[in-house]
Amino acid sequence: MKSLEDFARAKLRRLDAAETRRSLVETARDGAVTVLRDGRSLVSFCCNDYLNMTQDPVVRRAAQAAIETYGTGAGASRLVTGNHPLYREFEARLARFKGTEAALVFGSGYLANISIVPALAGARDLVLADEYAHACLIAGARLSGATFRLFRHNDVGHLDEVLAETRPAHRHCLILTDRVFSMDGDLAPVPALAALARRHDAWLLTDDAHGAGLRPPDDPADVPLQMGTLSKALGSYGGYLCASAAVVGLLHSRARGFVYTTGLPPASVAAAAAALDLIEADPARCARPLAHARRFAEALRLPKPDSQIVPLVVGTPARALDLSARLAQRGYLVAAIRPPTVPPGTARLRFSFTAAHEPEQVLALAEAVRTVQAA
């Protein structure tokens, strides 16, 4: 189809001009923190496998055993014939870990958010989200058909104003925020948000994609909707919601991304369960990523980080891409993050630290960053 080809090519030219075109680069994992790219070994500081669980022998064996027992796929929606025995145990385990009554797993974190929000809010309702909330929370809010407003990043005063103005005209209200912001690494002011939510009879959802396994869970009395992913510190694939039994029961019938999609593969569930065991058994492992982030920030005199994610805002996409390329020449894989993932003018390098990095690697990275920045 000529019109389709013309459309795609014109769009690509525009993305190229703005230096925001994305492309895939073949990159093989090669151990806990190293990758192979273009035949070279690089130390990766851009992976969300914060506890290196994807490479852990215990986690791998659990996934292999689940394949041997249950096969490679769920075969259907869990409501039809796809509810293999691992789910019940894992969901109970996850709920216990988070301190909630119940839990529900989804095919991914993205799928969880675009399913949860429309299941809980509709045309007569209000959805408010932090302006830096993850793209899938925003997508869920739009899909819901509710009135949707953004509040300024981590600005409880602004949220209060927006609530005062908009809450009375709506039936229910959902407040959405990342708990650890994915591109900035800062934390949401959860207790203050919870107090506000209570005052305005609003339901607070925190997205703990970058926190689960690395910091203690939110208090369920503050946060009735605790969402997260199995794909980051848990080293597997999938998403989840931890909530009350009634909310989870409702989602069994109403979350379209649960009802109308195939259940998670057994190996993914078993791997996440094994990772959860390792997390509970080894607090020292879980503390290492943040310690590395602080070591790195201190070496570069950056603000003290609250999480394992450290942004270095450099401005234009071209500058971020150039610094990333020069770090790769020195043996480091660091992602250049560009708009629309982050606001215009705030293109950045995003560093993420994992348990298996060594302090010397972190300090050497800081030195390399200093050098490429000066050049």
209 scored as a contact of ligand PLP (CB under 6 A)? yes
Q: Per the structure block, which two tokens stand in for 109?
A: 């974190």
Could you tell me the end-to-end alpha-carbon distance of the chain, in angstroms, rounded to an integer? Answer: 47
275 scored as a contact of ligand PLP (CB under 6 A)? no
Instruction: Return the residue nearest ligand PLP (CB atom).
Output: 109
258 scored as a contact of ligand PLP (CB under 6 A)? no
Listed in sequence order, the residues at least 6 apart from 194 whose beta carbon sits closer than 8 Å to its beta carbon are 204, 219, 222, 223
Element (H, E) at 93: helix 86-98
DSSP symbol at 187: B
DSSP string for 103-122: EEEES-HHHHHHHHHHHH--
Nearest approach, Cβ of residue 40 and ligand PLP (Å): 27
224 scored as a contact of ligand PLP (CB under 6 A)? no
Nearest approach, Cβ of residue 200 and ligand PLP (Å): 24
Q: Are strands 347-352 and 309-315 parallel, antiparallel or unpaired?
A: antiparallel
Q: Give dist(CA 93, CA 276) in Å, integer.
A: 9
Nearest approach, Cβ of residue 224 and ligand PLP (Å): 18
Nearest approach, Cβ of residue 134 and ligand PLP (Å): 4
Q: Per the structure block, which two tokens stand in for 163?
A: 């609530």
Main-chain phi, psi angles of 204, to 5 degrees: -90, 125
Nearest approach, Cβ of residue 59 and ligand PLP (Å): 16
239 scored as a contact of ligand PLP (CB under 6 A)? yes
Nearest approach, Cβ of residue 169 and ligand PLP (Å): 29
210 scored as a contact of ligand PLP (CB under 6 A)? yes
Nearest approach, Cβ of residue 109 and ligand PLP (Å): 2
354 scored as a contact of ligand PLP (CB under 6 A)? no
Q: Give dist(CA 144, CA 162) in Å, integer.
A: 19
List the one residue from 136, 188, 327, 368 that touches ligand PLP (CB under 6 A).
136
Given the structure tokens 């694939």, which residue do they identify? 237
Where in 189-208 is the site for ligand PLP (CB under 6 A)? 207
Q: Are strands 239-243 and 309-315 parallel, antiparallel or unpaired?
A: unpaired
Segment contacting ligand PLP by CB under 6 A, of 37-45, 102-110, 286-294, 307-315: 102-110
Provide the mask over 163-192, with x wherever binding to ligand PLP is found by CB under 6 A and - wherever it is not: ---------------x---x----------
109 scored as a contact of ligand PLP (CB under 6 A)? yes
Element (H, E) at 7: helix 2-17
Segment contacting ligand PLP by CB under 6 A, of 105-113, 116-124, 325-333, 364-372: 105-113
Given the structure tokens 């989870």, which residue do they identify? 248
| Contact call for residues 121 and 176 (beta carbons, < 8 A) | no
Question: Where along the sequence are the contacts to ligand PLP (CB under 6 A)?
Answer: 108-110, 134, 136, 178, 182, 207, 209-210, 229, 231, 239
